[in-house]
Amino acid sequence: MKPNLSVSIGRLKLKNPVLVSSGTFGYGREFAEFLDLRELGAIVTKTITLRPRQGNPPPRTCETPAGMLNSIGLENPGIEVFIEKNLPSLLKMGAPVIVSISAESDPTEFAALAKKLDRIAGVKALELNISCPNLKRTKLIAQDAAESFQAVKLVRRNTDKPIITKLSPNVTDISAIALSAQKAGSDAVSLVNTFLGMGIDVEKRMPRVSTVTAGLSGPAIRPIAVRMVWEVYQKINIPIIGMGGIMDLSSALEFIIAGATAVSVGTANFINPATTIEIIRGLKQYLIRNKIKEIRSLIGSLHVQG
């Protein structure tokens, strides 16, 4: 039996459900030495903004129990340079490319970004990063249902490509935001982005990351991320891309069984660059072992008693 790992995110067909998360995989090139990128379900790029951004001052990262804090500040060369310099080589690497985009201050920047990328055939989908916790603003778009709706709508008007809206876990009710993304025409949601956290050097009495607060990722957040995927799965009917501390096969399966159509590996890429490949192989074996023909039948297959 050859198990079927393929899944669909809107009109986007993926040969397997394992993606790499934005901001953890550069623009692909760095990882070509460690794995065959053609085996990946898709690559989600580092987030691109309209203008170049130099990012936040160091220190930008620190380790925490079973995780890490980061505050990179969306360092990127800007959409023009990205399209000219980074994208062509990325498209040649053989994995479907999903471009992550973000507005810096004005949400209408999303429209301009979508318009520019809509023309490029190789770009298979857009991920709307409305949930980066490391920009200088008091409130994220993803913390407001109406603003999230507006942002998705703006992009929807400017592209026919599948739209994936990336949600923030730093909210009271993540399902409400997922619903407004769905209502605005998003083809899928991805969750979760990092949790806003903080670490302190007690000897210096200084924050361990320069921006004081930063995004927490890694296995430390996994149980909360799985719970959020489970909650959102009950409320929406578009696919979910689940992420948050996926390190291996079993953690990837948790998200799928909770309701994720696909999973995305982030922080684990920093530690073991071949994590995704190990998960893809593991998924095949898991399906064979459990006599399951298609991974699709695993999605949301959680057995709840009573």
Partner 1 sequence: MIQLKVKILYNRREKEDYYHLSLLAPKVAREALPGQFVNIWLGREDGAFLRRPFSIHRAKEGQLHILYKVVGRGTELLSQRKAGETLDIIGPLGHGFDYQLSATNYQLPILVGGGIGVAPLTFLAERLACCLRPAARIKPLVLIGAKNKKQILCAQEFRALGCQVKTATDDGSSGFKGRVTDLFSYLLSTFLNYKLSTIYACGPRPMLKELASVCGKYNIPAQISLEEHMACGINACLGCVVETKNGYSRVCKEGPVFAADDIIWR
Q: Applying CB under 8 A, does 31 fall inside the site for partner 1?
A: yes
Draw the binding track, 138-177, toward partner 1 (x: CB under 8 A; -: no contact).
Answer: ----------------------------------------
**Is there binding between residue 218 and partner 1 (CB under 8 A)?**
yes
Closer by beta carbon to partner 1, 274 or else 292: 274
CB 200 to partner 1: min, Å: 15
Q: What is the DSSP string of the chain?
A: ---B--EEETTEEESSSEEE-TTSSTTSGGGTTTS-GGGSSEEEPPPB-SS-B--PPSP-EEEETTEEEE-----B--HHHIIIIIHHHHHTTSS-EEEEE--SS-TTHHHHHHHHHHT-TTEEEEEEE---TTSS-SS-GGG-HHHHHHHHHHHHHH--S-EEEEPPSSSS-HHHHHHHHHHTT-SEEEE--PEEEE-EETTTTEESSTTSEEEEESGGGHHHHHHHHHHHHHH--S-EEE-SS--SHHHHHHHHHHT-SEEEE-THHHH-TTHHHHHHHHHHHHHHHTT-SBGGGGTT------
Q: Which of 9, 19, 25, 151 binds partner 1 (CB under 8 A)?
A: 25
Choice from 3, 10, 59, 107 touching partner 1 (CB under 8 A): 59
- Cβ nearer to partner 1, comparing 5 with 277: 277
Contact between 67 and partner 1 (CB under 8 A)? yes
Applying CB under 8 A, among 176, 198, 224, 274 the residue interacting with partner 1 is 274
219 binds partner 1 (CB under 8 A): yes
Q: Residue 34 interacts with partner 1 (CB under 8 A)?
A: yes
272 binds partner 1 per the rule CB under 8 A: yes
239 binds partner 1 (CB under 8 A): no
Q: Which of 10, 93, 270, 284 binds partner 1 (CB under 8 A)?
A: 270
Which member of 66, 206, 212, 288 binds partner 1 (CB under 8 A)? Answer: 66
Total residues contacting partner 1 (rule CB under 8 A)?
36
Which lies closer to partner 1 via its Cβ, residue 161 or residue 208? 208
**Positive/negative CA dihedral, 168, 241, 126, 71:** positive
Catalytic one among 42, 99, 132, 283?
Answer: 132
Tell me, yes or no, if 132 is annotated catalytic. Answer: yes
- The number of CA neighbours under 13 Å toward the Cβ of 232 is 37
Residue 273 engages partner 1 in binding (rule: CB under 8 A): yes
Q: Applying CB under 8 A, does 223 fall inside the site for partner 1?
A: no
User: Is the Cβ–Cβ distance between 134 and 55 less than 8 Å?
Assistant: no
Phi and psi (nearest 5°) for 33?
A: -75, -15
CB of 194 to partner 1, least distance (A): 12
Q: Which residues are catalytic?
A: 132
Footprint on this chain of partner 1 (rule: CB under 8 A)? 23-26, 30-31, 33-34, 46, 54-55, 57-68, 70, 72, 75, 218-219, 247, 267, 269-274
